[in-house]
Structure 1
Amino acid sequence: MAVPGRKPKPYIAAVREGTFRPDRNKEGVRFPPVDPVEPRWADILPGPDPEVLRARKTAAELWGRLVPVLTYSAGLVDTQRETVTDYCVTWAWITMGNRALAREGVVIDGDRGKVRNPWCTVLSQQRQHFRSLTGELGLTPASAQRIAAPQPDDDDDDIFD
């Protein structure tokens, strides 16, 4: 169940920004600083269909552009890779749907005459999901303002060193 009010700021973001307060922020979970490993796209998008092969390529290209940037700018670690994987797959679905709509049209012939192409519904849902993931990853100008870059620390008592 959703909790009303503002989303709590992640602990590390509050520390980086100097706004940490013990009464408002909790440390939460600390993940080991391991770079994300690219998933096997054939496992996530299986099948020999040319559209699926193209979707795998689209997802892999987006991963290659996005993960190095997020690792550097937002401190993305391997434990959090599923969110980025979902982002890449969602984008692959959107591009696949856009191509299908360009080929077939928004209105197609159905059993009872002209109907709306099912890809319209799929694209609407995928775009909504894409927007939520974009905000979660800090990839819009507004959400990027909320993310502070990780600062290298010289803390020798870190458990992940």
Structure 2
Amino acid sequence: MTLAKPIDQHKREGTYRPDRHSDRLALSPSDLTEPDWSTVIGDGPGADKVKADASDIWSRIVPALSAATRITDAQREVVVSFCTAQARMWEAERFISRDGLLVVGANNVLVKNPATTVVNTYAGILRAARVELGLSPSAAARITVTALSEDDGMDDVWD
């Protein structure tokens, strides 16, 4: 899967063609606003730790994403989903560490800890979000980022 070049990169390289490149959605760059994690995650047992984890993940990845991909506030929901999924996965991992991979189920029979199912579910969500955001090494290698030259002003990038 090859990621398409941004339109402004085509313009800088002289490869822009209106018949091929004008149909793309172009969003103006803007700062991502961190959500109120209480409204995203809610309250309940362990919620404060999950909120703190999600906020920590947000503060670590958003500056890099903003600089590298020009992600906008209009696209922030995938970042919110990523942060929430990672925080929930860590919560499930804490349950597994506390209770073990096997727990006593009905009839005193050992069964797989239900938290392992949660980990597997969130692993899939995270895998997809990492590709979308360019956070895995292979996805990051496919993203083309070009620095603006001194002649390129941000005023005309979105024209």
TM-score of the superposition, structure 2-length normalised? 0.83
Please state how far the C-alpha of 1:21 moved relative to its aligned partner.
Answer: 5.7
Gaps of 5+ in 2: none
Of stretches 142-151 and 27-36 in structure 1, the one that deviates more from structure 2 is 142-151
- The equivalent position to 1:66 in structure 2, one of 44, 50, 61, is 61
Gaps of 5+ in 1: 1-5
The corresponding residue for 2:72 is 77
The corresponding residue for 2:94 is 99
The structure where helix makes up a greater share of residues is 2
Q: CA RMSD in A?
A: 2.5
Q: How does 1:8-157 map to 2 (within 5 A)?
A: 9=4, 11-12=6-7, 15=10, 18=13, 25=21, 27-49=23-45, 51-112=46-107, 113-152=109-148, 153-154=152-153, 156-157=155-156
Which letter maps to 1:117?
A: N
Please state how far the C-alpha of 1:128 moved relative to its aligned partner.
Answer: 1.4
Q: How many angstroms apart in 1 are the aligned matches of 2:66 and 2:41?
A: 24
TM-score of the superposition, structure 1-length normalised? 0.82
Q: Deviations over 1:89-108 (max 9, x none)?
A: 01001100110000111111
The percent of aligned pairs where both chains have the same amino acid is: 29
Structure 1 runs (4+) deviating above 3 angstroms are: 10-14, 16-27, 155-160
Residues paired across the two proteins, number: 154
1:115 partner SS: strand
Residues 42, 56 of structure 1: 8 Å contact kept: yes
